[in-house]
Amino acid sequence: MNEDTLIDESLQKLYSPSDFRNIGHQLVDVLADHLDQVQSQREQAVLKYQNPEEELAYWKEDMSSDTDIIDVYKDILERSIHVHHPRYMGHQVAVPSIISSLSGLVTDLLSNGTGVYEMGMASNALERIVTDFVAKKIGYGSDASGFLTSGGTLANLTALLAARKAKAPGMVWEEGHKEKLAVLVSEEAHYCIDRAARILGFGAEGIIKIPSNKSYKIDTSLLEEYLENAQRKGLVVIAVVGCASSTSTGSYDDLEALATFAKDNNLWFHIDGAHGGGVVFSEKYKYLAKGIDKADSVVIDFHKMLLTPALNTALIFKNSEDSYKTFEQKAQYLWDSQQSREWYNSGKRTFECTKLMMSLKVYSIIKMHGKDIFEKNINRLYDLGKAFAAIIKEREGFELLIDPEANIVNFRYTDVSSDVINSLNSQIREELILSGKFYIVQTMIGEDRYLRTSIMNPLTEESDFIALLDEIQKIAFRFK
């Protein structure tokens, strides 16, 4: 045998089944111990904050050391935020179910890119089942179709591409822009809508932000005025985007009013339901998204309130034909014809060709825990949001922004002179992070700074809210 073709032993060891079994067993034990600790011992830190330079220095030193890989994993756990901790109330990131995390091990090992059917046969079939399930919950008919993609930002961009294909004059995909295009969207919309419009070449002028009302929902009484103003400027408005819900406050736009406006003006109606669109699974809370079935396209993140690791997002079209028209181009080495409508070749409808096997993570949750598990989780999180709001209202020295519709609760400490409220609340949040006892974020509502919680963990209890407010008061007293 030619010595040049002899495989190096270190390459063989990369794929050793015995190493996989040995390290895998150890790692599962480490992760199980971690889950047990953060769930049962609330005094455990949600995070142990390090400044960026110190963290970088630590890992630079580790890179040149002979640390055992299991110890590296333990360090990663120690030096990361713990979303499974009941006092994690920060960003809108799902607390992943155990089965979906284990499914990630399967999909990472298989590493099947699902853009082409034979590279992901099982995953493409599961994706069809999952997206059909979502479409039915939205209220769409048999003509609906969709796919999974890597996050709400990419999904919203894809939806606006479909809107441009359907509503823009001429052949933009082939000939480029000949008109100044624009979209209407609430000022409370997620920044990714603004970003998507800019990526599409609409520019700042093409992102028409409609003011919100006192409930932080898009003010539908202004839609006609803003549309007419845009048209007078020579803009061609192709779409209106509804929030279900907004990121900062969790408020749901009046989707039925937006649907009527879109229909009357021949506009594409898209709903960014990345966070709150999951209420379609809940009999108790689906009224918040009334009118969602009238949208041309809907985005729902599984990695927010639907128990799935990030990133995992469903983009569903009311008319499946719209999803296929978006990226019509030749790719002979992948498929014979772009014109054929093949749900099992998802690369025809997404940015991604080597797309991750996202569907198994969702399918495994449904398979193991039943079709109503998403409803149970959403009901729990939204109920906790209302409970926390009630506790804040009863606590002297605190102000609630609005009664929450979702699991996003904004509040602030106010038992201080008005000129330092913003700075004090910012200090409170910083001290909470440094202590590691709780994880919350902050947001600006107009000129006012609020502490913002997204209640994502169904294991969080009312006692955790009381403990949070107690801790905030202790911090405030030190700074007053």
What digits encode the pLDDT tens for the residues 399-426?
A: 999 999 999 999 999 999 989 999 999 9
pLDDT over 50 (residue 455): yes
- Residue 212's nearest CA partner among 410, 407, 446 is 446
Give me the number of domains the chain comprises.
1
Per mean pLDDT, which range of 135-139, 150-154, 175-179, 304-308 is the poorest?
A: 175-179
pLDDT level of residue 123 (50, 70, 90 thresholds): very high
- The pLDDT value given to residue 361: 98
Residue 333 domain-assigned (yes or no): yes
Q: 96-114 burial string, b = 16+ CB within 10 Å, else e? A: bbebbeebbeebeeeebbb
> Mean per-residue pLDDT for 45-69?
94
Burial zone of 7 (CB within 10 Å; 0-12 exposed, 13-18 middle, 19+ buried) = exposed
Q: Report how far residue 472's alpha carbon sits from residue 131's, in angstroms, rounded to the nearest whole number.
A: 42
Contacting residues for 249 by C-beta, under 8 A, at least 6 apart: 188, 216, 401, 402, 404, 408, 410, 445
CA-to-CA distance for 364 and 471, rounded, in angstroms? 39
**Mean pLDDT for the stretch of residues 250-269:** 98
| Residue at 174 is within a domain | yes
Please check the confidence at residue 229 and state whether its pLDDT lies above 80: yes
The CA distance from 413 to 443, in Å, is 14
9 in any annotated domain: no
What is the domain range of residue 139? 105-369
CA distance 281 to 290: 13
Domain contains 405: no
Phi (first) and psi of residue 439, to 5 degrees: -125, 110
DSSP E strands in 180-281: the ranges are 180-186, 207-210, 235-243, 268-272
Residue at 80 is within a domain: no
Reply yes or no on whether the pLDDT at 457 is more than 90. Answer: yes
Mean pLDDT of 196-214: 91
Looking at residue 243, its pLDDT comes to 96
The pLDDT assigned to 329 comes to 41
17 part of a folded domain: no
Q: What is the pLDDT of residue 173?
A: 66
**Is-contact 250 279, C-beta < 8 A?**
no
Statement: residue 341 has pLDDT above 90: no
- pLDDT of 426 reads 96
Burial of residue 241 (CB within 10 Å: 0-12, 13-18, 19+) is: buried
Q: Shortest CA distance to 424 belongs to which of 451, 389, 392, 391?
A: 451
Whether 259 is in a domain gets the answer yes
pLDDT at 328: 56
> Residue 326 has what pLDDT?
72
Q: What's the pLDDT score for residue 325?
A: 75
Which residues are CB-contacts of 314 (< 8 A; sequence separation ≥ 6)? 130, 131, 134, 146, 147, 148, 155, 299, 300, 301, 302
Question: Pairing mode, if any, of strands 268-272 and 235-243?
Answer: parallel
Average pLDDT, the chain: 92
Decide if pLDDT at 183 tops 50. Answer: yes
462 domain residue, yes or no: no
Q: Can you give the pLDDT at residue 114?
A: 82
The domain spanning residue 219 has which CATH number? 3.40.640.10
- How far apart, in whole angstroms, are the C-alpha atoms of residue 109 and residue 19? 14
